[in-house]
Amino acid sequence: MSPRPNSLAAKDAAFHFHGYTNALKNEKEGGFVVTRGKGVYIYDEDGKEYMDGLAGLWCCSLGFGEVPRLTQAIAKQMQALPFYHTFTQKTAAVTVELAEKLVSLAPVPMSKAYFCNSGSEANDTVIKMVRYMNNGLGRPQKKKIISRVKAYHGVTVAAGSLTGLPAIHKDFDLPIAGTLHTDCPHHYRFGQPGETEEQFATRCAESLEKLILAEGPDTIAAMFAEPVMGAGGVIVPPRTYFEKIQAVLQKYDILLVADEVICGFGRTGNWWGSQTFGMKPDIMTMAKQLSAGFMPIAAIMMNQRVYEALRDNSAKNVAFAHGITYSGHPASAACAVEVLKIYEEQKIIDGVRDLAPHFLKRLHSFADHPLVGECRGVGLVGAIELVKDKKTKESFDPKLLVGANLVRMAHDHGLIVRPVADALCFCPPMVATEAEIDSTFDRFARALEDTETWLKREGHLSAAA
Ligand SMILES: Cc1ncc(COP(=O)(O)O)c(C=O)c1O
């Protein structure tokens, strides 16, 4: 459908090249232009309301609330000091305040925080830090990085290489050399018949060890892992997984980097996904909910051992010759400081724990639906995976774009959800009420019904299914 002449969608079609978008389709149809947000809702240019079931891009923890308080904190900072950088021993006061706060919140002892503007940039920077560390320690061969099939660590050249989704590599000439992908810990998809979660976790750890031994432990520097794999389809690790993975990493002196970009700041019911799943990372990356999505900011935290290696090599080289103009930008830092105050004052993470059972109950209530293969989730993040055949777990032909079509139908019912192939992902604002969670899943149920009708009409399901 072509956009209405002179609408914002028509201008979007004419002037805007989007990420993660079929540009030809956008040129014909124009984008979905959002003009306003309030509470857990967003509004399009015609004033239609949508429930924001993915909290923006897994980031708007406070929905579109707390706007006066956060804009005031940002405005106050802008008036005092709208920019300062962090090169050559300089920094803004508020950036120091944020670094101190983050270190105090860390799930395991961390030494220092470093700031970036996006999750991709943070993960890219960690790859450089790890290289710099091992060169400084006189083990220049210890450089390869392990990630996992279906991982998402961003899109820049190195972080995008760690991402384990084929579409992110195709035609971008990724991955770069030195990136390895081990098994995806998705029990429903990759567990063998009769294999328990614990047995599957053991097999994942054995497979990791095999990969390390085949490559040579002295060549491997670090493994990146999201506590819950988000953009891969909300994959919750099987029981005992990280315990077993970490035992292997420790054996071969391989660092664990926890990518907390989605899980950090309460999403799984604790401050950190690392706490929910017993991870003891050497390095962490975080973004998104750090500023409730309101300002671009990301951070890295590193433990003392990593810091000392970076420190000593920086002294040898005169400086750690890496930095980003907007690293620790004062307006973003002021926003993050205030967001963290809100999380603490309003006990937002306790609220996630209180709401999670209701969210998960509604999510799992779709388990018996004939199109649903698996419902999975933890805290306030989850996914519902659709299948053609419940018994054999056979997926639909990817060409049918079942997930994308359901999303379109959900859109018509006033719900924004995200497809990862045929898994529909939910990540509501952490401040949603039970009634808003109910409304999210009620809208989803209508879209699922429409999807079933469409599939039957097109002959992709037997009428009896
Ligand atoms: C776990 C994880 N890491 C990294 C990123 C990349 O962050 P950004 O899009 O800010 O570059 C994302 C983005 O969704 C993510 O989910």
Peptide bond preceding 175 in cis form (omega within 30 of 0) = yes
Measured in Å, residue 163 CA sits from the centre of ligand 1 at 10
Q: Which atom of ligand 1 is nearest to the CA of 231?
A: 16
Mean pLDDT of 295-321: 98
Q: Could you tell me if 266 and 254 lie in one domain? A: yes
Pocket test for ligand 1, best of 152, 286, 381 (most atoms within 8 A of CB): 152
Q: How many domains does the chain have?
A: 2
For the stretch 19-32, pLDDT in tens is: 999 999 999 999 99
Q: What is the pLDDT of residues 428-459, one digit of tens each?
A: 999 999 999 999 999 999 999 999 999 999 99
Side chain identity at 146, as an amino acid letter?
A: I
- Compute, in angstroms, the gap from residue 429 CA to the centroid of ligand 1: 17
Handedness of CA 425, 430, 432, 433 (dihedral sign): positive
Claim to verify: residue 313 and residue 451 sit in the same structural domain:
no
Q: Specify the CATH number for the domain of residue 47.
A: 3.90.1150.10
Stretch 229-247: mean pLDDT:
98
Asked whether residue 88 falls in the same domain as residue 172, the answer is yes
Last residue of a domain, one of 298, 328, 345: 345
376 within a domain of the structure (yes/no): yes
d(CA 225, ligand 1 centre) in Å:
12
**Domain membership flag for residue 99:** yes
User: Whose CA is closest to atom 8 on ligand 1?
Assistant: 119
Range of the domain at 416: 32-65+348-457
Distance 81 CA to ligand 1 centre (A): 28
Q: What is the 3-state secondary structure (H, E, C) of 79-118?
A: HHCCCCCCCCCCCCHHHHHHHHHHHHHCCCCCCEEEEECC
- Whether residues 266 and 247 share a domain: the answer is yes
Cα(154) to centroid(ligand 1), Å: 5
Count of Cβ atoms closer than 10 Å to residue 307 Cβ? 18
119 lines ligand 1 (CB under 6 A): yes
Place of tokens 């992709």: 460
Q: Identity (one letter) of the amino acid at 417?
A: V
Under the banding of pLDDT at 50, 70 and 90, the label for residue 461 is confident
Is the same domain home to 332 and 217?
yes
Q: Report pLDDT for 1.
A: 79
Q: Is residue 124 in contact with ligand 1, taking CB distance under 6 Å? A: no
Query: 276 with 384, same domain?
Result: no
Q: Which of 329, 345, 361 is the last residue of a domain?
A: 345
In a domain, 54, yes or no: yes
- Cβ-count burial 370-399 (b if 16+ within 10 Å, e if not): ebbbbbbbbbbbbbbbbbbebeeeebbeee
The per-residue pLDDT for range 382-431, each reduced to its tens digit, is 999 999 999 999 999 999 999 999 999 999 999 999 999 999 999 999 99
- The pLDDT score that the predictor gives to residue 275 is 98
Q: Report the 10 Å Cβ neighbour count for 104.
A: 9
Domain check: are 46 and 104 in the same one? Answer: no
Residues 201 and 279 reside in one and the same domain: yes
Query: How many angstroms is it from 316 CA to the middle of ligand 1?
Result: 33
Q: Is 118 in the pocket of ligand 1 (CB under 6 A)?
A: yes
- Cα gap 302→268, rounded to integer Å: 22
Residue 20 lies in a domain: no
In a domain, 262, yes or no: yes
Residue 3 lies in a domain: no
From the CA of 427, how far away is ligand 1's center (Å)? 14
CA dist 115 and 129 (Å) reads: 13
Q: Are 423 and 54 in contact (CB under 8 A)?
A: no
pLDDT in tens, 134-176: 999 999 999 999 999 999 999 999 999 999 999 999 999 999 9
CATH number, domain of 173, equals 3.40.640.10
Judge if 59 and 74 occupy the same domain. no
**Between 2 and 283, residue with greater pLDDT:** 283
Confidence of residue 465 (pLDDT cuts 50, 70, 90): low
pLDDT digits (tens, 9 = 90+) for 47-97: 999 999 999 999 999 999 999 999 999 999 999 999 999 999 999 999 999
| Whether 234 and 146 share a structural domain | yes
Contacts of residues 385-389 at CB distance under 8 Å and 24 or more positions apart, as own/partner, are 385/188, 385/233, 385/422, 385/423, 385/424, 386/422, 386/423, 386/424, 386/451, 387/422, 388/460, 388/461
Q: Which of 328, 345, 362 is the last residue of a domain?
A: 345
Does a structural domain hold residue 6?
no
**Per-residue confidence (pLDDT) for residue 462, from 0 to 100:** 67
**Ligand 1: residue whose CA is nearest its atom 4:** 153
Ramachandran angles phi, psi of 349, nearest 5°: -75, -35
DSSP string, 364-423: HTTTTSTTEEEEEEETTEEEEEE-SBTTTTBPPPGGG-HHHHHHHHHHHTTEE-EEETTE
How far apart are alpha carbons 356 and 377 in whole angstroms? 9
Following DSSP, what letter does each residue of 166-217 receive, concatenated? Answer: HHHHTTTT-SPTTEEEE----HHHHSPTT--HHHHHHHHHHHHHHHHHHH-G
- For residue 394, being part of any structural domain is answered with yes
**pLDDT at residue 464, as a whole number:** 53
Helix 330-345 × helix 348-364 angle, to 10°: 80
The pLDDT of residue 251 is 98
Asked whether 338 and 70 are in contact (CB, 8 A), the reply is yes
Place of tokens 């055949």: 389
Residue 153 Cβ contacting ligand 1 at under 6 Å: yes
Same domain assignment for residues 244 and 102: yes
pLDDT in tens, 99-142: 999 999 999 999 999 999 999 999 999 999 999 999 999 999 99
> What span, in angstroms and rounded, lies between the C-alpha atoms of 281 and 130?
14
Q: Who's near 81: CB < 8 A, 6+ residues apart? A: 92, 93, 94, 330
Q: 357-379 pLDDT, tens per residue?
A: 999 999 999 999 999 999 999 99
